[in-house]
A and B are shown apart, each in its own frame.
Chain A
Amino acid sequence: MLVLKVLSLEPLHGWGICERIKLISEEELQVNQGSLYPALHKLTQEGWIKSYWGLTENNRKARYYRLTRAGKKQLHVEAAHWDRLAAAVARVMATA
């Protein structure tokens, strides 16, 4: 879900995704760098993201990933799911 969310802002390469998640979460969330790639492949296979070869700011060839339409839909589904879960957890915590 996080990967989808990050990619919904702009297409990124693998390392960029890691950095972005760290940045946005203010280092709270650490992505296991290596495991990111199997995950990305999995998402590609599901058809939620698509990869293409692009150039970085300093003209280096890199594999970028972007969100597909199916991926956008999936993001909504997962976000809604997360909201419900988070709210439920918050309610439980509030009563305790």
Chain B
Amino acid sequence: MRMISRWVFRLRATLFPGRMEEAMEEEMAFHMEMEARKLMAKGMGPKEAFRKARRDFGEPEYHKEKARESWGIGMIQNFRIDARHTLRALRRNPVFAIVSILTLGLGIGANSAIFSVVNGILFRDLPFPEPDRLVSLCETRPDEAGTCRTASTPNVADWAGRSSSFQGIGVFRWWGHILEGPEGAESVSSLIATPEFFQVMGYQPAIGRIFRFEDQLEGNRNTVVLDHDFWESRFGSDPGLVGTTIILSGEPFEVIGVLQEGQKPPVVEGQRADVWLPLHFDPRDNDRRNWRGFYAVGRLGPGTGLEVARQELAVIHQGLVEEHPAANAEWGLQLTTLHDRVVGGVKNTLFFFLGAIGLVLLITCANIANLILARLSSRESEMGIRTALGAGTPRLMGQLLTEGLVLALLGSALGLLIAWSGTPLFLSLAPAGIPRLGDVGMDGQVLTFTLGLAILATLLFGIAPLAWASRISPMQALRGIRHGKGRRPMGGVNGILVVSEVALALALLVGAGLLTRSFTAFYRWDPGIDREHLLVVSASVATGAYQGTDAIMNVYRALDEQLLALPGVRSVARTSAGPLFGGFEPDQVFPAEEARAGGSGHQARWYDISPSYFETLGLPVLRGRAFTPEDNMNAPRVVVVNETLADRLWPGEDPLGREIWAEMHDGIRVVIGVVADVPPLDPDAAVDPEMFWPQAQYTRPVSYFVIRTEGDPDPLQRQVIDRIHEVDPDIQVGMISNYHTLLDRRLVQPRFNMLLIAIFSAVALVLAGV
């Protein structure tokens, strides 16, 4: 009750200070008038009576001030006065104003910009219904310290079937298809998923329908759902498309629906999906238990905690290990939130930047503190007079804090402007592969954060001046006036501030130095390949004119000849991918003897290549031989493995003549050679196990052509495209690039990091120097 009346009173005083003032004025005047009347009644002259009444009453202003204090709005009142005073003072001292507001604007703006990025990527919900309940399920290997691997569909089916924690678990994976049409063929990114995946993620069709369970049964007609953007760009949002048939990699697919706008697969590989296809086999098929090629996403039941699900899954997984020891013995199971899975990779980097930019803010504050202290020395007399006139220490501190807050707020306003214009710049510089960049932007949280920063900054750079204000003695201050000289206050604090500024800037510089070093490590990358004279071209012969292995191989060979005939070309090779280009295609491989016994196998990246590939790239074949044109469909199936895979499959033994079996490429292949490892670009990464087989034994209508030139490869680019079109003008040339550019593209991310930290350091240095 008392609380309420107090607050009502205060609120009134705050909202209508004028009315309160008037009332007080009036009642005090009334008091004095009454007193004077009384005195006059006693026979005193009116003039004298009023004077005495006034004297007896005391100084009205003093009592008014006391009364105002009792209103409890003194702080607000004072804040208004001080804020007005500060603005006036800033106008009088524009250099100080501009320098400090610019500095703060820079510091706070940079923080807000980075925060808006971190906020968008890390803190905002994933764009799916009830995202808290979405989880990622990974299979792990104990020797890989928690690296999240994709899962096998029968395992996922068993997790879903035996647990009660989940509403559903769906799987998906990326694939590539060639979409054929009257305008020619183009490669599209496809996503293969189970109907459960659609349910779990909450996807809905904009038109038509999404997958049903029947769609994934083998033997049923092929169906496809289109991405909204793809439908728009490729088919002009034609609603009549549903029910028609499109040709994907030579096979007809019926379009059954289009997803709603903005519905995208969860970003676990930074890929888009143009077309969505149903899984074309029964996910429970036990024969595929060893094919761990699928991302599994689950939706927890309402109210089910992650830990509960984790414990339940651990038991189920143990059961699966016992039932299928060959496939599961060496595997573990990891359950994380989908959010962690999506942003886990960039979390540390982002927090690192947030920390770095926080240092910049600290430097900014130290800087402002210094400026304020310098200015205070000339205001010591002002403060002294105020103290002498009765302003208590709290009042002076309040004034200093207000001055700081006004500065900080002005700086924040500028900072928001900087952040607002700077965030798009950041995004345009940011490399592809950072997840959720589309979710980055200004919002209430960023504004709140900025306001919080302003207050934090005020407190930070206010500490030193406050400490100083609490020590002001009016005597000394006034004496200072007489001697007419200002003393720089708090010399010691000043030193500390400068030292900490330099130290913080140094910390940033060290960070920048470390990043630069790891960056130059990328430049020192030596794959054992002569990078100077290499041209990479991707070409698609999926024009419809070439059907079957022979036709495709014939046009490939024609292309080889045309390119080799170019002056300045030393050799030409084909491959499905190579170091720094092409996709990552992994498969589960086993020594053939183990596959029969049922072992767990190894994940290996595979390539289909032409016989001249190793020679053209300059990769030494360490044992056995490379392919020859005779390794074709009429000859035994053969494979070349890299050192790492040879060592994985048959440690310490001779791999030549051994047989391997690859999950997705049914059939036994004989190892005929071992090729040298290519060290990965990232010096911290391990070498992937890799295997190669001849394109003549595994033919796809898309291939990269690697061209070794005598001199500078760039002038040849035009001729290379012309020669390809001489063979067939319908052949699509995708990318064409020299090897340096390929490397450059991969360095965008580390360069971006380095650039960012360099900018921070530069800002820090400038600030520390001011």
Contact = CB atoms under 8 A, between A and B. Distances in A.
Interface of A: 13-15, 18-19, 32-35, 37-38, 41-42, 44-47, 51, 60-63, 70
Contacts of A62: 27, 30
11 contacts: A19-B38, A33-B31, A34-B59, A37-B24, A37-B67, A42-B70, A45-B6, A46-B5, A60-B30, A62-B27, A70-B5
Contact of B67 (A33, A41, A47, A70): A41
Interface string B43-77: 00000000000001111101110110111100000
Contacts of A35: 58, 63, 66
Given A44-B9, A45-B5, A70-B1, A38 B66 contact: yes
Contacts, number: 76
B727 interface: no
Contact-residue size bin, chain B (C-beta under 8 Å from the other chain) = 20 to 34
Given A38-B63, A45-B72, A51-B23, 18 more contacts: A15-B30, A19-B38, A33-B35, A34-B62, A34-B63, A35-B58, A38-B66, A38-B69, A41-B67, A45-B5, A45-B71, A46-B6, A47-B2, A60-B30, A61-B26, A63-B23, A63-B26, A63-B27
Contacts of B30: 13-15, 60, 62-63
Contact of B71 (A33, A41, A46): A41
B53 to A, nearest CB: 9
A15 B31 contact: yes
Contacts of B28: 14, 34, 37
B6 A37 contact: no
B10 interface: yes
Nearest to B69: A38
B34 interface: yes
Nearest to B26: A63
Nearest to A35: B63
B21 to A, nearest CB: 12
A65 B57 CA distance: 19
Interface string B72-100: 10000000000000000000000000000
Interface string B434-445: 000000000000
Contacts of B26: 61, 63
B333 to A, nearest CB: 64
A15 B70 contact: no
B70 A41 contact: yes
Given A34-B59, A37-B63, A60-B30, A15 B71 contact: no
Given A37-B27, A37-B28, A63-B26, A47 B70 contact: no
Contact of A45 (B9, B31, B63): B9
A80 B61 CA distance: 36
Given A15-B34, A70-B1, A34 B27 contact: no
A62 to B, nearest CB: 5
A46 B2 contact: yes
User: Interface centre among B1, B6, B64, B70, by most A CB within 10 Å?
Assistant: B70
A47 B23 CA distance: 18
Contacts of B38: 19
B32 to A, nearest CB: 8
B629 to A, nearest CB: 100
Contacts of B4: 47
B31 A14 contact: yes
Contacts of A46: 2, 5-6
Contacts of B71: 41, 45
A78 B97 CA distance: 55
A75 to B, nearest CB: 15
Contacts of A60: 30
Contacts of B69: 38
Nearest to A65: B27
A70 B2 contact: yes
Nearest to B35: A15
Nearest to B66: A38
A15 B24 CA distance: 13
User: Interface centre among A38, A46, A60, A62, by most B CB within 10 Å?
Assistant: A38
A68 to B, nearest CB: 9
Contact of B1 (A38, A42, A47): A47
Contacts of A63: 23, 26-27, 30
Contact of B10 (A33, A37, A45): A45
